[in-house]
């Protein structure tokens, strides 16, 4: 059995066993706006000792759902040895979720699934939901419209019933019938 020379233990392209393949840091907390949205940034450094494509997966903990979290931009990035990228993660909490404290993490996975790291936790507090006042039915407007319809309809009915009938008109003009001779009788048609 031969012993490898000093400095040649393991693969030179791989980090030592137990080493962290990615360094992931973030601020400890993110503040959400009143509309329950916010963003935080993670810094990811490739310490795998090789070029990789890193898959960025936000994860929820402490009651937070993964569906509330999304990477802004590409969810998979190429990383050369020792390179660092800044990853922005957005948080959008639905209105039906009760207020409370939750945690988000960023998991960074090498494309071949051989190496992964979950970064430090970032806490966030879900503020009270914005209660939107229900729109009330416009009863006053409905009453005003109903009164206007009654007044206009009633006024039209009263006008139709009380308007004076038109004066009679002559369809055929009056005429004198007979021969105009002295002593002869003439008759009159009134039309």
Q: For the segment 18-57, what is each residue's pLDDT rounded down to a tens digit?
A: 567 999 999 999 999 999 999 999 999 999 889 999 999 9
Of all residues in the chain, the percent with pLDDT exceeding 70 is 86
> So where are the chain's domains?
22-126
Mean pLDDT of 142-169: 81
- Please choose, from the candidates 30, 31, 24, the residue with its C-alpha nearest in 3D space to the C-alpha of residue 120: 24
Three-state DSSP at 22 gives: strand
* 90, 70 Cβ separation under 8 angstroms: yes
For the domain covering 22-126, report its CATH number. 2.60.40.10
Instruction: Supply the pLDDT for residue 190.
Output: 77
> Cα(41)–Cα(119) distance, rounded to whole angstroms?
12
Mean pLDDT of 3-7: 39
0.85 exceeded by pTM: no
Q: What is the pLDDT of residues 76-109, one digit of tens each?
A: 999 999 999 999 999 999 989 998 999 999 999 9
| φ, ψ (nearest 5 deg) of residue 19 | -75, 150
Instruction: Supply the pLDDT for residue 90.
Output: 95
Instruction: Supply the pLDDT for residue 17.
Output: 47
Instruction: Supply the pLDDT for residue 132.
Output: 62
> Cα(191)–Cα(185) distance, rounded to whole angstroms?
19
Q: Is 36 left (phi over 0), alpha (psi -120 to 50) or beta?
A: left
More confident residue, 166 or 101: 101
SS3 percent helix, strand, coil of the chain, rounded to 5, is 15, 35, 50
Instruction: Supply the pLDDT for residue 62.
Output: 86
Give every CB contact of residue 22 below 8 A, 6+ residues apart in sequence: 44, 45, 46, 47, 48, 54, 108, 115, 116, 117
């Amino acid at each position: 059995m031969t012993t490898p020379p000093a400095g040649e233990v393991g693969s030179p392209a791989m980090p030592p066993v137990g080493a962290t393949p990615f360094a992931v840091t973030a601020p400890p907390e993110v503040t959400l706006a009143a509309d329950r949205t916010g963003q935080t940034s993670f810094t990811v450094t490739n310490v795998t000792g090789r070029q990789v494509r890193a898959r960025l997966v936000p994860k929820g903990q402490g009651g937070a759902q993964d569906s509330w979290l999304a990477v802004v931009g590409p969810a998979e990035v190429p990383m050369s040895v020792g390179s660092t990228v800044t990853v922005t993660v957005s948080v959008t909490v639905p209105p039906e979720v009760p207020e409370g404290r939750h945690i988000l993490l960023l998991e960074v996975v090498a494309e071949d699934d051989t190496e992964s790291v979950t970064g430090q936790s970032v806490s966030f507090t879900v503020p009270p939901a914005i209660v939107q006042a229900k729109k009330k039915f416009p009863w006053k407007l409905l009453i005003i419209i109903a009164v206007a319809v009654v007044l206009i309809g009633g006024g039209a009915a009263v006008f139709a019933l009380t308007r004076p009938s038109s004066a009679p008109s002559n369809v055929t003009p009056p005429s004198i019938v007979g021969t105009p001779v002295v002593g002869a009788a003439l008759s009159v048609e009134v039309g």
